[in-house]
Amino acid sequence: MNAVVLPVLLILWLAAIATFICFLSIEDVNNGKADSIFKTPIYGSLILFVAIIGTAIHYIKMYKTIAIDSKGIKISNFFYKKSLAWNEIDEIELIGKSQVANSPVDATILILKNGRKIDLIASRYENMPAIRKTLQQIIECIESNDQILLSPLKATSKVDTADAIHLSKMTKYSGNHILSFNGFLLYGWIIFSVFIVFTYPNSGGIIIGLVIMFGVLYGSLGLQLHYFYMDQNHLIIKNHVWPWVNDKYRIEDIKQVTIEAPYKKSTSLRVITNGFISKLYSGGSLKFSMWKKFLKDIQNFNIDAKNEAGF
């Protein structure tokens, strides 16, 4: 859902700014502040409208519709349409990486016999688990030389929350989040805000600005402050500053974990289940030594674990 919502919000935000500039420009003409619309900031709105059109075209090209049947796969959008028979594809890499904005992202990669690659970025498809499970059926049929027949997909879910889980008996993988880069910025802003409030107690505008900025920092920095609990049965995801985060996975349901280093983000853990549900958790408080310990421990449970963070 975020893959669609975020671009739409960006376009709406640009449109709102452009509309506001248009309104101010018309007001300047009506109030006599400018004798011509061309002597107002109207050019700014024109530039923004061009940016809106460019952004819309960019995202339309980026997000493609996928249709899969027993004959092949069809990939299309408003500007592009391509049909591939299964015998045109040399390899399907269900869980791979694609470079987007200098950062490796989760993707399924189709490697064609002519050498070309088609990357299906996981975050751009809300139903990516279903796409991967369908492609897995295709791979199994091809490898066994059977006729390609697609069976109905079975729903998969994360860990059964009814299981008894005792965190005190699990190994904790964490660090001092207050002294981490993200924690230092967050708590530093809180201290700074308290100082400003006591210094300027009657400045309502300043206080509102501080609160808004705190919300932005709490969201963006909190997103990078996960930590983990694990034993032989479960992997639990917690967050230092978001108390409601409590994601749970059965160890037996985990297909792969990867330690990643996203561009301009904290070192992160990607968890992919047997049902191809994929989630990324940034662990900004964990030091490299703790990441190595986590990686070693989870490998002992015969889980495919990869270190792509470079330490």
pLDDT tens digit sequence for 56-109: 887 777 777 888 888 889 988 777 788 889 888 899 999 888 887 777 888 999
**Which positions ≥6 away from 218 have C-beta within 8 Å?**
186, 241
Looking at residue 87, what is its pLDDT?
87
Q: Look at the chain and count its residues.
A: 311
First to last CA, the chain: 33
* Domain made up of 167-180+225-307: CATH architecture: Roll (2.30)
Distance CA 310, CA 290 (A): 14
pLDDT at 30: 83
Sign of the C-alpha dihedral, residues 165, 171, 173, 179? Answer: positive
**pTM for this prediction:** 0.74
| pLDDT value for 185 | 92
Question: What are the counts of helices (DSSP H) followed by strands (DSSP E) for the chain?
Answer: 6, 14
Tokens for 148, please give them: 């390609």
**Residue 42, pLDDT score:** 81
Dihedral, CA of residue 296, residue 298, residue 302 and residue 307, to nearest 10: -60
Q: What is the pLDDT of residue 178?
A: 92
pLDDT at 287: 92
Domain boundaries, the chain: 2-62, 71-143, 167-180+225-307
Residues of the chain where predicted confidence (pLDDT) is lower than 70: 1-6, 154-164
Query: What's the confidence (pLDDT) of residue 155?
Result: 63
